[in-house]
A = this chain, B = another copy of it.
Amino acid sequence: MDRRQRKTRSAIFDAFTKLLSEKSYSNITVQEIIDEADISRSTFYSHFETKDELLREMSNDIFAHVFSDHPAKEKSHDFSRADYDLKEEITHILYHLQDNSRYLSRILSCESGEMFMRYFKEYLEKIFRDELKKIKTDIPTEYLLNHMVCDFAETVRWWMKNDKFSPEDISRFFFSATPFD
């Protein structure tokens, strides 16, 4: 990738992040991003088609990192110590999220988080779906899945607003308020 491209992309990401910390996503205009990044109008549009596209790519960049070394699920079908595995993985993810907290807390704060959360939940669904198969209950699986995903996503969002807790704390909070405990 061209050095100029990298610089521009980075300038746009920084500008966007800064703006997200000040106002809600929907109230940010492309014009403001352009001004803040100090680039040309046509340059912005040569990188991203729309503002939504920008958020999507920025989210993917972050999650690609957070979920990068997500352990191969195929191997761990040993249901006996299933619970332990999940807790470990959750804590693991929380550590990665903490690394990105400078970005994340800005993105998730204020009123801007919803779009981002949507992408986040897509990843979480994959993790929780398998886990749910081990639970015996008469509650609909789809309800529980939605419950777990939203629950964890909200926990992270809350964490980013109250960042005085460790990943282990948050993991404990999460599992103590969930039927998986």
Binding site for B on A (CB under 8 A): 26, 111, 114, 118, 137, 139-140, 142-144, 146-147, 150-151, 154-155, 158, 162, 172-173, 176-179
Contact = CB atoms under 8 A, between A and B. Distances in A.
Contacts of A151: 147, 150-151
A154 B147 contact: yes
Contacts of A154: 146-147, 150
Contacts of A143: 155, 158, 162, 173, 177
Tell me how many chains of this kind the complex includes.
Answer: 2
Contacts of A114: 114
A150 B150 contact: yes
Nearest to A150: B154
A142 B155 contact: no
A111 B154 CA distance: 17
A101 to B, nearest CB: 17
B176 A177 contact: no
A108 to B, nearest CB: 13
A177 B144 contact: yes
Q: Nearest 4 pairs between A and B by C-beta?
A: A114-B114, A150-B154, A26-B26, A146-B158
B142 A177 contact: no
Contacts of A178: 177
Nearest to A181: B179
26 contacts: A26-B26, A111-B118, A114-B114, A137-B176, A139-B172, A139-B176, A139-B177, A140-B162, A140-B173, A142-B158, A142-B162, A143-B155, A143-B158, A143-B162, A143-B173, A146-B158, A147-B151, A147-B154, A147-B155, A147-B177, A150-B150, A150-B151, A150-B154, A176-B179, A177-B178, A177-B179
